[in-house]
Amino acid sequence: MNPSGIVDEVCKLYTRFSGKSMTITIRVQALTGSKDQFWRHKSLHELSDEEWESLCDGCGQCCLIKFQDEDTDELLHTRLACTLLDIGVCRCTDYDNRHARVSDCVVISPDTVDTLEWLPHSCAYRLVAEGRDLYWWHPLVSCDAGSVRQAGVSVREWATSEEGVPEGKKIRFIVKDPSIKRVLTG
Protein backbone atom coordinates (compact mmCIF):
# COMPACT_ATOMS: atom_id res chain seq x y z
CA MET A 1 0.00 0.00 0.00
CA ASN A 2 1.18 3.51 -0.77
CA PRO A 3 2.40 5.01 2.52
CA SER A 4 0.82 8.38 1.74
CA GLY A 5 -2.60 6.71 1.53
CA ILE A 6 -3.29 8.11 -1.95
CA VAL A 7 -3.74 4.71 -3.48
CA ASP A 8 -6.86 3.00 -2.09
CA GLU A 9 -7.22 0.30 -4.70
CA VAL A 10 -4.61 -1.85 -6.36
CA CYS A 11 -5.53 -3.89 -9.39
CA LYS A 12 -3.32 -6.68 -10.58
CA LEU A 13 -3.84 -7.90 -14.07
CA TYR A 14 -3.57 -11.57 -14.81
CA THR A 15 -3.97 -13.01 -18.23
CA ARG A 16 -4.83 -16.62 -18.84
CA PHE A 17 -5.38 -18.48 -22.06
CA SER A 18 -8.32 -20.82 -22.45
CA GLY A 19 -8.20 -24.00 -24.49
CA LYS A 20 -9.67 -22.12 -27.45
CA SER A 21 -6.73 -19.70 -27.63
CA MET A 22 -8.90 -16.84 -26.40
CA THR A 23 -7.43 -14.34 -24.01
CA ILE A 24 -9.37 -13.93 -20.81
CA THR A 25 -8.45 -11.00 -18.62
CA ILE A 26 -9.02 -11.29 -14.92
CA ARG A 27 -8.48 -8.38 -12.58
CA VAL A 28 -8.06 -8.94 -8.89
CA GLN A 29 -9.03 -5.99 -6.76
CA ALA A 30 -7.14 -5.52 -3.51
CA LEU A 31 -9.08 -3.19 -1.26
CA THR A 32 -7.65 -1.28 1.67
CA GLY A 33 -8.70 0.80 4.66
CA SER A 34 -11.63 3.11 3.92
CA LYS A 35 -12.65 1.54 0.61
CA ASP A 36 -14.47 -1.76 0.49
CA GLN A 37 -16.95 -3.67 -1.58
CA PHE A 38 -19.78 -1.53 -0.25
CA TRP A 39 -22.45 -3.11 -2.47
CA ARG A 40 -22.07 -6.35 -0.53
CA HIS A 41 -23.05 -4.94 2.85
CA LYS A 42 -25.02 -1.75 2.21
CA SER A 43 -28.57 -1.33 1.00
CA LEU A 44 -29.26 1.14 -1.80
CA HIS A 45 -30.64 3.59 0.79
CA GLU A 46 -27.37 3.51 2.72
CA LEU A 47 -25.14 4.45 -0.23
CA SER A 48 -23.38 7.79 -0.50
CA ASP A 49 -23.93 9.75 -3.73
CA GLU A 50 -20.48 8.65 -4.94
CA GLU A 51 -21.23 4.98 -4.22
CA TRP A 52 -24.63 5.25 -5.93
CA GLU A 53 -23.15 6.74 -9.09
CA SER A 54 -20.34 4.18 -9.16
CA LEU A 55 -22.89 1.36 -9.35
CA CYS A 56 -23.79 2.39 -12.90
CA ASP A 57 -21.69 0.12 -15.11
CA GLY A 58 -22.12 2.29 -18.21
CA CYS A 59 -23.76 -0.39 -20.35
CA GLY A 60 -26.31 2.07 -21.78
CA GLN A 61 -29.16 -0.45 -21.71
CA CYS A 62 -31.42 1.74 -19.57
CA CYS A 63 -31.09 4.51 -22.18
CA LEU A 64 -32.62 2.42 -24.98
CA ILE A 65 -36.08 3.26 -26.30
CA LYS A 66 -38.56 0.57 -25.30
CA PHE A 67 -42.15 -0.20 -26.23
CA GLN A 68 -44.71 -2.28 -24.41
CA ASP A 69 -46.99 -4.49 -26.49
CA GLU A 70 -50.56 -3.44 -25.70
CA ASP A 71 -51.91 -6.97 -26.19
CA THR A 72 -49.28 -9.05 -24.41
CA ASP A 73 -47.60 -6.48 -22.11
CA GLU A 74 -44.27 -7.77 -23.48
CA LEU A 75 -41.43 -5.25 -23.22
CA LEU A 76 -39.89 -4.66 -26.64
CA HIS A 77 -36.38 -3.22 -26.71
CA THR A 78 -35.15 -1.23 -29.67
CA ARG A 79 -31.67 -0.49 -30.95
CA LEU A 80 -32.47 3.21 -30.51
CA ALA A 81 -30.76 5.12 -27.74
CA CYS A 82 -31.82 8.39 -26.15
CA THR A 83 -30.50 11.46 -27.98
CA LEU A 84 -28.40 12.35 -24.93
CA LEU A 85 -26.53 9.03 -24.83
CA ASP A 86 -23.01 9.20 -26.23
CA ILE A 87 -23.04 5.69 -27.64
CA GLY A 88 -19.26 5.58 -28.04
CA VAL A 89 -18.73 5.76 -24.27
CA CYS A 90 -22.27 4.84 -23.13
CA ARG A 91 -22.64 7.91 -20.94
CA CYS A 92 -25.18 10.72 -20.88
CA THR A 93 -23.92 13.92 -22.49
CA ASP A 94 -25.97 16.11 -20.14
CA TYR A 95 -26.39 13.98 -17.03
CA ASP A 96 -27.18 16.81 -14.63
CA ASN A 97 -29.99 18.18 -16.82
CA ARG A 98 -31.25 14.95 -18.42
CA HIS A 99 -34.66 14.95 -16.73
CA ALA A 100 -35.36 18.53 -17.84
CA ARG A 101 -34.22 17.85 -21.42
CA VAL A 102 -35.83 14.43 -21.92
CA SER A 103 -39.39 14.36 -20.64
CA ASP A 104 -39.58 10.57 -20.32
CA CYS A 105 -36.14 10.07 -18.73
CA VAL A 106 -36.94 7.98 -15.67
CA VAL A 107 -35.47 8.74 -12.27
CA ILE A 108 -33.66 5.71 -10.93
CA SER A 109 -33.38 5.92 -7.16
CA PRO A 110 -33.40 3.57 -4.17
CA ASP A 111 -37.16 4.18 -3.98
CA THR A 112 -37.86 3.38 -7.65
CA VAL A 113 -35.52 0.47 -8.45
CA ASP A 114 -38.03 -2.17 -7.33
CA THR A 115 -40.76 -0.64 -9.50
CA LEU A 116 -38.76 -0.45 -12.74
CA GLU A 117 -39.36 -3.85 -14.28
CA TRP A 118 -37.54 -2.80 -17.47
CA LEU A 119 -34.19 -2.36 -15.71
CA PRO A 120 -31.67 -4.75 -17.27
CA HIS A 121 -31.31 -8.06 -15.45
CA SER A 122 -27.62 -7.25 -15.08
CA CYS A 123 -28.18 -3.74 -13.68
CA ALA A 124 -26.15 -3.21 -10.51
CA TYR A 125 -28.98 -1.22 -8.91
CA ARG A 126 -31.32 -4.16 -9.43
CA LEU A 127 -28.73 -6.71 -8.28
CA VAL A 128 -27.98 -4.84 -5.05
CA ALA A 129 -31.69 -4.28 -4.37
CA GLU A 130 -32.20 -8.04 -4.76
CA GLY A 131 -29.27 -8.83 -2.43
CA ARG A 132 -27.16 -10.25 -5.27
CA ASP A 133 -23.51 -9.62 -6.11
CA LEU A 134 -22.18 -7.70 -9.09
CA TYR A 135 -21.00 -9.56 -12.16
CA TRP A 136 -17.28 -10.09 -12.80
CA TRP A 137 -17.33 -7.51 -15.59
CA HIS A 138 -18.69 -4.64 -13.48
CA PRO A 139 -16.00 -1.91 -13.29
CA LEU A 140 -16.10 -1.98 -9.47
CA VAL A 141 -15.12 -5.64 -9.59
CA SER A 142 -12.89 -5.71 -12.68
CA CYS A 143 -11.20 -2.31 -12.14
CA ASP A 144 -11.72 -1.78 -15.87
CA ALA A 145 -14.54 0.23 -17.50
CA GLY A 146 -13.79 -1.66 -20.74
CA SER A 147 -14.82 -4.98 -19.21
CA VAL A 148 -18.51 -4.12 -19.73
CA ARG A 149 -17.89 -4.00 -23.46
CA GLN A 150 -15.63 -7.06 -23.40
CA ALA A 151 -18.41 -9.03 -21.70
CA GLY A 152 -20.82 -8.06 -24.50
CA VAL A 153 -23.16 -6.18 -22.16
CA SER A 154 -22.63 -2.70 -23.61
CA VAL A 155 -24.95 -1.28 -26.30
CA ARG A 156 -21.96 0.44 -27.90
CA GLU A 157 -21.56 -2.01 -30.77
CA TRP A 158 -25.16 -2.11 -31.98
CA ALA A 159 -27.20 0.87 -30.72
CA THR A 160 -27.96 3.96 -32.77
CA SER A 161 -29.32 7.34 -31.73
CA GLU A 162 -33.03 8.03 -31.92
CA GLU A 163 -32.21 11.52 -33.17
CA GLY A 164 -33.89 12.14 -36.51
CA VAL A 165 -35.97 8.95 -36.42
CA PRO A 166 -39.66 9.85 -36.76
CA GLU A 167 -41.87 8.58 -33.93
CA GLY A 168 -43.82 6.28 -36.29
CA LYS A 169 -40.63 4.64 -37.58
CA LYS A 170 -39.07 3.78 -34.20
CA ILE A 171 -40.88 0.45 -34.07
CA ARG A 172 -38.73 -0.67 -37.02
CA PHE A 173 -35.76 -0.75 -34.67
CA ILE A 174 -37.16 -3.42 -32.32
CA VAL A 175 -34.39 -5.89 -31.50
CA LYS A 176 -34.81 -9.19 -33.33
CA ASP A 177 -31.24 -10.54 -33.06
CA PRO A 178 -31.35 -13.40 -30.50
CA SER A 179 -27.87 -12.67 -29.14
CA ILE A 180 -28.78 -9.05 -28.42
CA LYS A 181 -32.14 -10.10 -26.94
CA ARG A 182 -30.28 -12.37 -24.50
CA VAL A 183 -28.13 -9.45 -23.37
CA LEU A 184 -31.21 -7.30 -22.83
CA THR A 185 -33.53 -9.81 -21.23
CA GLY A 186 -31.25 -12.32 -19.57
Number of domains in the chain: 1
For residue 153, being part of any structural domain is answered with: yes
For residue 130, being part of any structural domain is answered with: yes
d(CA 65, CA 82): 7
For residue 121, being part of any structural domain is answered with: yes
DSSP states of 158-184 as a string? T-EE-TT--GGGGGGGB---HHHHHHH
DSSP states of 5-54 as a string? S---EEEEEEEEE-TTS-EEEEEEEEE-TT---GGGT--GGG--HHHHHH
pLDDT of amino acid 36: 76
pLDDT of amino acid 23: 34
pTM: 0.79
Count how many Cα atoms sit within 13 Å of the Cα of residue 27 in the half-sphere of its side chain: 19
Domain holding 117, by residue range, is 44-135+147-185
For residue 67, being part of any structural domain is answered with: yes
pLDDT tens-place values along the chain, 186 residues long: 332 222 233 343 333 333 333 333 333 344 333 357 999 999 999 999 999 999 999 999 999 999 999 999 999 999 999 999 999 999 999 999 999 999 999 999 999 999 999 999 999 999 999 999 999 999 999 999 999 999 999 999 999 999 999 999 999 999 999 999 999 988
d(CA 60, CA 63): 5
For residue 4, being part of any structural domain is answered with: no
Contacts of 146 (CB under 8 A, 6+ apart): none
Residue 145 DSSP SS3 = coil
Residue 91 DSSP SS3 = strand
Give the pairing of strands 160-161 and 75-81.
Answer: parallel
Give the Cα-Cα-Cα angle 168, 170, 175 (nearest 5 degrees).
145
pLDDT of amino acid 186: 80
